[in-house]
Amino acid sequence: MRSTLSNLPTFLCDKLTQQYSALAEQIADGLCEHLTCLRVNRLKSDPETVKSCLQQAGFKTEALPFYEDALLVRNGDLSTLRHLSAYSEGLFYLQNPSAMLPALWLQPMPGEDLLDMAAAPGGKTTQLAALCGNKAQITACERHPIRAERLRFNLERQGAGSVTVLVRDARQLEDWFSFDRILLDAPCTGSGTLNAQDEADSAHITPILLKKCTTTQKALLQKADRLLKKGGRLVYSTCSVLYEENEATVMPLLKSGRYRACPIDPDRLNGISLLPCQIPEAVCVCPTDCFEGFFAVALEKC
């Protein structure tokens, strides 16, 4: 039987094998899994209320130990959940568990100035607003007008009234802006979220795309450095498992001596399968039936 790894394009197969050796097959198998997960919106509801709504509609939910607001739905899909009144009322947001990690690690506080550098469609932005109880000033950048409209729609539905949307490329923000905390969920190849059973989905990851993504990531990170206050926190994340987009992008900041990587609370990693990572404090999530492949690191500006 042909292995899942060998079904991937040669470029991606070689990249995973070079970086992860025997674990590459496990990653490829994880990329075949499909899941449905949601995040309870604390601005409008709570886990017990959302669980009750889903149970009444015939859905079976499963809590994830790393985050009390994360619920897996084993007997439903995104389209069926979108028909629920609880969804249209903004009681929950459909979001992969891995994508919930960056906002948690940013540790936003009420009264702070926050920046989400690549905000659409708004999953992490609305999570930040919920974590702060709408009591932090959040600036959300999205350079594409249509995606910015989708962002505004989701912010309104979720009741995230503390967010200002800028239809701008975050790389073009003036350096006089200043933020206590910055979330950079950078554009990437999506190597951790593709469907390994769909040849077209994986075929888009090419050397040209990888180079384009790393160039953009580095430019965004350099801008984040200029906008972050001393003592501030920056979370850099991608939905990729490739070294070039993750550790290699962050290493220059750490080597400069102006940043330190912050350890992650072990409770926030409970139940998460991790891949080897060359930055000890960073996390690279292995794709499984519950989590997509993901990288995140929290940095503090000295």
Catalytic residues: 239
Looking only at the bridges linking them, the beta strands covering 228-238 and 294-301 are: antiparallel
Nearest to 129 by CA among 96, 168, 90: 90
Angstrom distance (rounded) from CA 193 to CA 169: 24
Q: What DSSP assignment string belongs to 236-286?
A: EEES---GGGTHHHHHHHHHTTSEEEPPPPGGGGTT--EE--SSTT-EEEP
Q: How remote is the C-alpha of 1 from its chain's centroid?
A: 34
- What sign has the CA pseudo-torsion 275, 96, 70, 249? positive
Cα–Cα distance measured from residue 269 to residue 122, given in angstroms and rounded to the nearest whole number:
23
In whole angstroms, what is the distance from residue 26 CA to residue 22 CA?
A: 8
Structure tokens, 297: 């690191």
